[in-house]
A and B are shown apart, each in its own frame.
Chain A
Amino acid sequence: MLAAVSIVTFRWILIPIRAEGISMLPTYESGTLHLVNRLSFASRPPARGDVVAIMLAGPHVLYVKRVVGLPGERIAIVHGQVHVNGHLLVEPYVRNRRPWDVDEVTLSPHEYFVIGDNRGMSAADHDFGRVELSKIAGKVVF
């Protein structure tokens, strides 16, 4: 019974993941273990500031990113600073910034804008951008 509960919990509800890479520094260091709650967004949609896990082709390899833009919003990055609908977004979790520049995009009704916390790395080496809600596997809770 305990084994069955564990299998259900860690396969469909709380997915254990290991962070790889530096894109979420300093919040998550490479090699550290975390849990993704797949039910986090069952009752509410992702919110700005949530750290979410994003599926690629399936649930075994996930991107971990932070939500900075919500559906319908206009997002731009100017000299490394995220702007939402023309207003500067305060991001206390970001320590270092490089002068990234991304032209303004308007998110569709099902899109979120996600980005890693490490803005000190080259933008070319950092995966970020718009993602469909259906690709968000859950919230990183630990």
Chain B
Amino acid sequence: MAGAARVGRAAGVVGLVALTFFAWRLWFTGEEGVIRRRLEALRDEINLGVADGLENAVRAAAIGSFFTDDVLVDLGQGTAAINGRETVMGMAARLQPRTAAFKLEVQDIGVTMRPGNTISDVTLTGTFIRRSITTGEESIDAREFALVMTKADGTWRISRLTAVDTLK
């Protein structure tokens, strides 16, 4: 009886180790993991904040490198669609929050690979936390986004970014 219990425990441990291994492999080596880390890297780049002069241009270029040349960004009603990486870089370079600092958080990243593994559909929640420099007051705005990412030359880039209206 005790022997059977020991075998059961051992099988449980082996199962847990196997599960952990496969989860690790999926997270760190699968394309889904690569895409997640890519988006987290974009978040970190944006959260570096605003710099002056040349450094600002370098950061804008770094942010632009996460998008394809022909990226289309649609932030929803009341905003014009943004076409092309150059435009995205121009907007990133003009980010000069003199009255508020902001931080971007990215949560609930869901990745669905299309056949061929060079295009993926991604959903995520972006949370923008703004802190007023003058009052210290914090405001939070969360939005749902749908992305199309394409892989070229071994690198995943955003080719389409659309804000989703959770409440219509």
Q: A87 in the interface, Cβ–Cβ < 8 Å?
A: no
Q: What is the interface residue range for chain B against chain A?
A: 10 to 19
Q: Are B125's CB and A58's CB within 8 A? A: yes
Docked CA distance A60–B123 (Å) = 13
CB contact between A135 and one of B109, B142, B166 (< 8 Å): that residue: B166
Does A59 count as interface, using CB distance less than 8 angstroms? yes
Contact B108 A57 (CB under 8 A): yes
Closest chain B residue, CB of each to CB of A129? B167
One digit per residue, 1 when the CB lies within 8 angstroms of any chain B CB and 0 when it does not, for chain A 30-62 equals 000000000000000000000000111111110
- Say which residue of B139, B140, B143, B168 sits within 8 Å of A56 (CB atoms): B143
Among candidates A56, A65, A127, residue contacting B125 with C-beta atoms closer than 8 Å: A56
Q: A56-B108, A56-B125, A61-B125 are in contact. List 5 more A-B contacts (CB 8 A).
A: A56-B142, A56-B166, A58-B123, A61-B127, A61-B142
> What is the distance, in angstroms, from A21's C-beta to the closest C-beta of chain B?
6
Which residues of A sit under 8 angstroms from B144, Cβ to Cβ? 56-57
B123 near A57 with CB under 8 A, answer: yes
Are B167 and A54 interface neighbours, CB within 8 A?
A: yes
Binding site for A on B (CB under 8 A): 107-110, 123-125, 127, 139-140, 142-145, 164-168
Tally the A-B contacts, defined by beta carbons under 8 Å. Answer: 53
Contact status B125-A63, CB under 8 Å: no
B59 to chain A, nearest CB (A): 26
Listed by A's residue number, 16 A-B pairs whose Cβ atoms lie within 8 Å are: A20-B140, A55-B166, A56-B125, A56-B142, A57-B123, A57-B125, A58-B123, A59-B108, A60-B108, A61-B108, A63-B167, A127-B166, A127-B167, A129-B167, A131-B166, A131-B168
Chain B residue at minimum C-beta to C-beta distance from A126? B167
**Considering only CB atoms, which chain A residue lies closest to B109 in the complex?**
A57
In the complex, which residues of chain A have a beta carbon less than 8 angstroms from the beta carbon of B109?
Answer: 57
A55 surroundings in chain B (CB, below 8 A): 166
A109-B163 Cα distance, complex, nearest whole Å: 25
Return chain A residues, CB-CB under 8 Å to B110: 57-58
Decide if A139 is an interface residue (CB 8 Å cutoff): no
With the chains together, A67 CA to B139 CA distance in Å?
24
- Which residues on A sit within 8 Å (CB–CB) of B143? 56
Closest B residue to A127 by CB, please name it: B167
Report chain B residues within 8 Å CB of A59: 108
- 1/0 per residue A9-45: CB within 8 Å of B? 0000000000011000000000000000000000000
Tell me the smallest distance from the CB of A97 to a CB of chain B, in Å.
19
- List the 8 closest pairs (A to B, CB-CB), nearest first: A58-B108, A129-B167, A56-B144, A57-B108, A56-B125, A57-B125, A61-B125, A57-B123
Q: How far apart are A51's CB and chain B's nearest CB, in angstroms? A: 15
In the complex, are the beta carbons of A60 and B166 less than 8 A apart?
A: no
A130:B123 contact, CB within 8 angstroms:
no
Instruction: Determine the chain B residues whose CB is within 8 A of the CB of A129 once the complex forms.
Output: 165, 167-168
- Please judge, given known A-B contacts A20-B140, A21-B140, whether A60 and B168 are in contact too, CB under 8 Å: no
